[in-house]
């Protein structure tokens, strides 16, 4: 698949090339890579990113929250889909240098006007916005999955979608993934499914009282 906009496609091609180069570098570093993980793109991957894009285009949310901008790989997909449906993406990250890179890339792609970049602690930033959030991508450091989920949950709109990455791999993230699935199961108004897409996407939907069949 490719983007319709050549400017967006050109930026994505750069991300794809960097991802491939990062993979080579990671294999060379071996165990040392974990200590230097902030240098790496660590994206959701193309298959998962196109799934997110398709969900946004299909459901046409008004407000999209991305928890974990990183270098902007998934932000590109979210913003392109948001532009198609007239939505806004609010993306949050603690690392200002990563978000600065993402902003530059989105500007080059012509998508910056669709994105509100917020830099800081995700929990604090979520507390400053009453929502509602119609679509959430949770792709932050894995020990923050449950705190971030609990912070965003009260601000979800009816029939909001929460997508969480890395629910199958890497294996080291599985304890955090199990904790998140338990937190989701504890809510009475959520339905969830684990999809074997990319590194594992948890797709969670908040159903309304009047439409419990979702």
Question: For residue range 16-27, what is the model confidence (pLDDT) as tens digits?
Answer: 999 999 889 888
**Domain locations in the chain?**
43-206
Q: Over range 198-210, report the average pLDDT.
A: 86
Question: For residue range 120-142, what is the model confidence (pLDDT) as tens digits?
Answer: 999 999 999 998 999 999 999 89
Q: Starting at the earlier edge strand, list the strands of the sheet with 115-119.
A: 115-119, 88-93, 63-67, 133-138, 156-164, 201-206, 190-195
Q: Over range 83-112, report the average pLDDT.
A: 97
pTM of the model: 0.94
Name the CATH topology of 43-206: Rossmann fold (3.40.50)
Q: Over range 105-117, report the average pLDDT.
A: 98
């Amino acid at each position: 698949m490719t983007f319709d906009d050549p400017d967006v496609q050109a930026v994505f091609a750069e991300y794809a090339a960097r991802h491939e180069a990062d993979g080579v570098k990671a294999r060379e570093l071996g165990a040392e890579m974990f200590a230097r993980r902030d240098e790496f793109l660590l994206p959701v991957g193309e298959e998962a990113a196109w799934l997110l894009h398709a969900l946004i285009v299909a459901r046409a949310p008004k407000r999209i929250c991305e928890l974990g901008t990183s270098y902007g790989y998934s932000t590109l997909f979210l913003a392109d889909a948001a532009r198609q449906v007239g939505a806004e993406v609010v993306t949050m990250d603690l690392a200002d240098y990563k978000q600065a890179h993402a902003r530059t890339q989105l500007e080059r792609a012509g998508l910056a006007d669709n994105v509100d970049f917020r830099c800081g602690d995700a929990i604090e930033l979520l507390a400053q916005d009453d929502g509602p959030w119609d679509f959430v991508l949770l792709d932050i450091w894995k020990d923050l999955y449950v705190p971030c989920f609990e912070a965003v949950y009260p601000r979800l709109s009816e029939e909001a979608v929460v997508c969480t990455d890395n629910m199958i791999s890497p294996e080291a993230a599985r304890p955090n993934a199990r904790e998140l699935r338990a937190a989701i199961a504890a809510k009475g108004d959520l339905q969830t499914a684990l999809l074997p897409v990319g590194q594992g996407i948890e797709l969670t939907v908040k159903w309304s009282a009047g439409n419990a069949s979702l």
